[in-house]
Structure 1
């Protein structure tokens, strides 16, 4: 740690620890604000440069969106680098796990709108996150949601035929093309994950919660039905598609999956995102143009105009 960094930040407590580093809560003595400091290693346990650290910093330096965590400061310490962010007291994961915290339909819509706006911006500048999940969605005391943890993010180009690792995204939010071992994919993997997160907010339990990749695929097939070539022509070319065989499934209706109070507009959003064929999944911009959001925005404007 440098002397200037040591003098500026007063560490308060450890607030998290994951694969890519430890997170500490601190007080910024210069601004008076509480911040979160993520300590990341510059090298892997094998002594190689940590690509996740490089990718996270590179991705965050490209982002300027109020629904994406801003990188406030970077400084070296004895183990690697410290990345400084605004302190966000909650994660969507912690809220979903706490039954005493209600999730109203308006809050779910607000969180989903912010998530989609953040991802829309991210995809517009050529970044796919590849690890959208409740634990990586931070929320402040004013219910503002921001996307965090860009350790698996990649800068991509629609015009380049690049290969990527299929071993990304947490299993419960991993798109089927990844589960089938595809190395040729794009930002649609984030859209599948958003669909799973939205469904989880509506149900308070994960949509697909497999303990292994095989079980995860089995749960997807149970709900969506067996994939077919008409709807997903590329499925036969996926590396592991012919290696894994499941009993034929007709699938289940979304009405049976969700609580009786779930609306048709909410189900339409899930259905538009949780699609086998990545080409058929809604983009973030398309999702934000659904009646689910348009009608809500119209109602808000009408209520404001009365005052």
Structure 2
């Protein structure tokens, strides 16, 4: 549940509406959460989504002395890349990939090993997906940091 905007500066409401819109576009995309329902209730936007176990950041923080093997890291990296390819094939950029947004599904299946969540900053792009290696210019959300990819100077 996300409280609906009360001013034009309230970004959480805009993020929830955007996430619901993008998740509805990603219906059936492997490695993304299922959105079952989106509605307004009292002064809140409600997204009813698939139940997930937790995110990788919390997992690592709660078990600081246990390290993942190289094989396990490569296994999850492979599945994350596969998920991102699937999301991009639907014409969506995630724009907020981090450990806190990579989650474990409640029920494991042979095809989905992890779920990429939090599409609040997601971006729908129109492009010719047949052109391999095409770069897309995505406007930065905040002022660019000098010397980074988004630096326009």
- TM beyond 0.5: yes
More RCO (CA 8 Å, sep 6+) = 2
Query: Shift of residue 102 of structure 1?
Result: 3.2
Distance 1:75 1:91, change over 3 A: same
CA RMSD of aligned residues (A): 2.9
CA distance in 1, matches of 2:31, 2:113: 8
Residue equivalent to 2:117 = 148
- SS of residue paired to 2:35: coil
Residue equivalent to 1:270 = none
1:114 and 1:146 in contact (8 A); partners too: no
From the CA coordinates, give the structure whose radius of gyration is larger. 1
CA distance in 1, matches of 2:6, 2:139: 18
Distance 1:135 1:45, change over 3 A: farther
Query: Shift of residue 135 of structure 1?
Result: 0.5
Matched, 1:106 2:71: yes
Deviation above 4 Å: which 4+ runs of structure 1?
none
| TM-score, normalised relative to structure 2 | 0.73
2:30 and 2:86 in contact (8 A); partners too: no
Query: Shift of residue 163 of structure 1?
Result: 6.9
- SS of residue paired to 1:177: coil
Structure 1 portions without partners, runs of 5+: 1-38, 181-237, 242-307
Matched, 1:59 2:33: no
CA distance in 1, matches of 2:119, 2:92: 10
Matched, 1:176 2:145: no
Q: How many positions carry a matched residue from both structures?
A: 136
